[in-house]
Structures are given as structure tokens and as C-alpha cells.
Structure 1
Amino acid sequence: MTAVDFAAFVERLSEIACETILPFFRTALGAADKNVGGAFDPVTEADHAAEAAMRRLIMTTFPSHGIIGEEFGSIRSDAEFVWVLDPIDGTKSFIAGLPTWGSLIGLLHNGAPTYGVLVQPFTRERFIGDGGGAVWRGPGQGGELVERKLTTRLCDSFAEATLLTTSPLLYTEDKLAAFRRVEAVVRLSRYGGDCYAFAMLAAGHVDCVIESGLKTYDIAPLIPIIEGAGGVVTDWAGGSAVQGGDIVATGCAQLHVRALKLLEG
């Protein structure tokens, strides 16, 4: 897989996500519940259609590659190259008509996240990272597509920091207490965002994102974007975030150390 082939291929995956999902947004789209009897976990026809289309292209183009996807599970997850797909990260926001959702496309090489894209079809934005750098592509003031480098904000004090989480309702009681320790000392705390919260951290607009109970497909595609922009992302114990779980991301190493200490309590 050459660099040119790879760039063109990822671009096509991104276009498939846009072309498949956007016609469903802000329509009378119904949502099924994947967690009947538990907390509402919606899935839509757009989720299924987008992941199915992306999987078909991957399997046709790179039949030896593995895939980890939210909607249709895993195949060859121990392969050298494994694609990680979350067709709509933030389905609850999607069905509520809010634009804070995105399609996540990531690539693992020997288990390590090496490339990631967050596609937001409605705002025409893409956040792209390879760990060594990250860029944003989106509409400029005149509507033309422009590109700029992503850089996290260097804030080493929680007294000056902005914190995001998707929802306190997603935490168990003990983990919510840990999150509240961080929330108690920040300047500003906001809820909502899903994957878009991590994009805003990479873009330098917020300083810390904390989540609980993430899956590989929720976070692996975002790791190269966060790290490429200069940020740090780990689990709450300071280990690898690639398998998901309880995740904390910050704009700089100093703030990350402080976050881990507060979460540990």
C-alpha cells in the first residue's frame, strides 16, 4: 500500500461516510435500541449503511486487512493492518439533530493506532492525524475548503482549563466521583460532544476530555489526531487508550499528570 494509494483510499472511505450518512441527518429517521432493557443505545439505518459500505470497500481493496466496527463486529482483528470504524460516533446527538457527531476511521498497524480521521459531513470538516502531525480541513470564510495545522492549547493549570465529557449519566457511581474531582477545579465544564469533544481538544479550544466506558472504535481513530496535535491520551491509569475503557485526554503533559492524580483520588 503506497502513500498515494493510502491517501486516495482513505479519502474514498471518508466520501462514502459523507454520501451515505448526510441524507439521513435531520430527517424523520427512526432509531432502534441496541440495549433493550438497559440505558438507551440507539442505532439507525445510517449507521448500518455507512459501515457496510466502508467494509465492502476495505474487503475488496485490502482482503488481508482486518476490521473492527461498531455495528458488524470484528474480522481478522489480529492482522498486521486493522481498520477501525465507527460510522456515527454520537448517534444520540445525530437523532436529536445536533451536529456534534462524526464518522471515525482509524488504522492500526500491529495493534498500534497509526492513522485516524474524524469526518463531520454536515459541517464539511475533517480532522486528520498520523501521530506525527494533525490537520483540519473545512470551509473557509468564503466557503472554499482550506487546511490548517491542528495544535493543542498549552494549559497546565486546571484553574484556567475547560473540561468536556459527553454525559455524567454514562459513569458508574465511583467513576462519577472521580470525574467530579476534576470538574470541581476547572474554570469551565461542559457536557456533550462525543468524538467532537476530542476534535476540539486537538484544535486547541478545550484542555481536557474525560470519558468512561469507551470501546476501541470510539477512541482508536482519535488517538493519532490528538497526539499529532501535541496532546496526550491514556486510560485513567496512564496506560494505552487503544482498547478503550476509561479515557482522559489533555492538551499537554503537565495537565495530564494532574488529571491522572485527581482521577486516582
Structure 2
Amino acid sequence: MSALPAGFPRDAVLEAALAAADVARSVVLPFFRRGVMADDKADASPVTIADRTAERAIRAVLSERLPGFGIMGEEFGLEGGESPYRWVIDPIDGTRAFLTGRPTFGTLIALLHNDVPVLGIIDQPVTGECWIGLRGEATRFLSTLPGTPRTRACADVRQAELSCTAPEILDAPHRPGFHALAAAARRTSWGGDCYAYGLLALGQIDIIAECTMKIWDWAALVPVVQGAGGSMTDWAGQPLRADGDGTVLALGDAGLLPHVSGLLVPGAHAG
């Protein structure tokens, strides 16, 4: 695992990110199961007053704590893009789950250095679970619920638990690959959004394959999964990029990568 950048203000960054997650939790919880209405965005995904209010609160905390850093959020775009450090935030990842009263949504807070995720937080306000990933360090899990932040060994795809948020996020070009992987895996479960990646980091899920993902959907997940012993790539096994094809592949056992990627993208690992 690569180390943090030289001169990285580790403690200040971690304190700011956790403070932002605390504020987001206090904003989101009063809206949960309260009949909040949603608007449809241009991509047909829903957004609520809870999303917008939480993002504003997160931005306020981060900009006050570390004013020189850029901030990109799902709802309000990019500020301060000239900095090599950029926060990437998703105030409610899994708005559909939030709207239907399911506690599988989460707040995602990532910090990128030169476009590489170096910190990631998955915070679930209802269950009180929080995953903290820092590049080069073991993932931490803060919760009163049981769980050890370590992925499990799974040498055979036929024994793997596969997960994906929903069939509709699989666009037409990627469906054959996903169906091939699902046919090879032991079982496929649906639902979870960012919460599924937290479960993978706890050794409960082995594979997550999704597409149509934006940078705010995956940036915070990378340090969490990697710090727990797993891997995060695109379906072809390449590092995730903001300008990538939107596919995301999380593996609890990185040794599965050639086989899984070969099923998702035939020929990706040929030769």
C-alpha cells in the first residue's frame, strides 16, 4: 500500500473529515422516515432537501477547517479546483434507500491528492457505523455493532458473494459481463449502495461490480476497501479515474481480479 504524500496534514485532515461526517449525520437524521419529497435531477436520480442541506453543511465545515483545499460535491459542483488537494463528497449516497426508509445509504467523504484518493469515510447515520480509510493505513471501523475491518479470503469465484446496488444501473454494454459473473458466483444480492462496500471491508461480501458510477460514488470507497485488504479497480482491472468508463469492481480477495475481470470484460487479461 502506498504511503500518504510527504507533508500530508494527516491529523488535521482526519479531524476535518470526521467533523464533517458528524455534522452531516445531525442534518440527515431528522429527515429520515419523515416523508421527505424528492426532485428528479437531469439524470433521473432523486435529490432531496436532506441531500442539499447536508452537502452545504459538509462544505462549510471542510472549507473552514482547511480553506486551501478544493471541494467537489454531487449537488453543488466544484470550488477551488486549482488545489492539488480536493475533497469529493456525496451527502447521501443511496437517496432511493433514504427515501424508502432503508438504512443502507451513507455519507461519503473523500480527499484526493493529485486525483488519487488518500482518505475515505463511509458514515451510516442510522446504524452509527463509520468506516475510515487512510492511504497506507489499516481501515478503522467505529461502531457498537460487531465487525472487523478486514476482507476475507476467497480464492474461488464459485464461492463468492456478489453484490450490486440495482439491475438498472447496469447499462446495456455491461450487462453481458455482469450476467457472466453472476452465473459464475455462488450468489448475487441486490441493494446496498455504499453500505455494501463497507460490508465487503468487513468480510461479509466478496465482489461488488457496478457501472454508471461517478467519482463521488467511488472516491471515498477506495481507501476503505484497500485499507481492509481488498482492491478497487474498473472492470478491466485498471485504476479508477474521474474520466473512466464508470465501471467499478471491488474485491475482498485481490487474487480474484484476473478471473473476475476476465468474465466482466472478455479478453481484458488475455495473454
TM-score scaled to structure 1, two decimals? 0.92
| Paired residue type of 2:261 | L
Q: What is aligned with 1:25? A: 32
Task: Tell me the CA shift for residue 149 of structure 1.
Answer: 4.6
Q: Does 1:135 align with 2:136?
A: no
| Paired residue type of 1:235 | D
Deviates more, 1:227-236 or 1:58-67: 58-67
| Aligned equivalents of 1:89, 1:134: Cα separation in 2 | 20
| Aligned equivalents of 2:79, 2:18: Cα separation in 1 | 22
Deviates more, 1:81-90 or 1:246-255: 246-255
Q: What is aligned with 2:217? A: 218
Task: Tell me the CA shift for residue 242 of structure 1.
Answer: 4.0
Equivalent position SS for 2:112 = strand
Task: Give 5+ residue unaligned stretches, structure 1.
Answer: 142-147
Moved >4 Å (runs of 4+)? none
Structure with a larger share of its residues in strand = 1
| Aligned equivalents of 1:185, 1:2: Cα separation in 2 | 44
Task: Give 5+ residue unaligned stretches, structure 2.
Answer: 1-7, 267-271
| Identical counterparts, % of pairs | 38
| Aligned equivalents of 1:58, 1:178: Cα separation in 2 | 39
Q: What is aligned with 1:118? A: 122
Deviates more, 1:150-159 or 1:238-247: 238-247
Equivalent position SS for 2:185 = coil
Kindly indicate whether the alpha-carbon contact (under 8 Å) linking 2:17 and 2:62 is maintained by their aligned counterparts in 1.
no
Task: Tell me the CA shift for residue 140 of structure 1.
Answer: 4.5
Q: What is aligned with 2:263? A: 262
Q: Does 1:234 align with 2:233?
A: yes
Equivalent position SS for 2:250 = strand
Q: Deviations over 1:120-159 (max 9, x none)?
A: 0100000111132101111148xxxxxx651101102111
| Aligned equivalents of 1:54, 1:89: Cα separation in 2 | 14
- RMSD in angstroms over aligned alpha carbons? 1.5
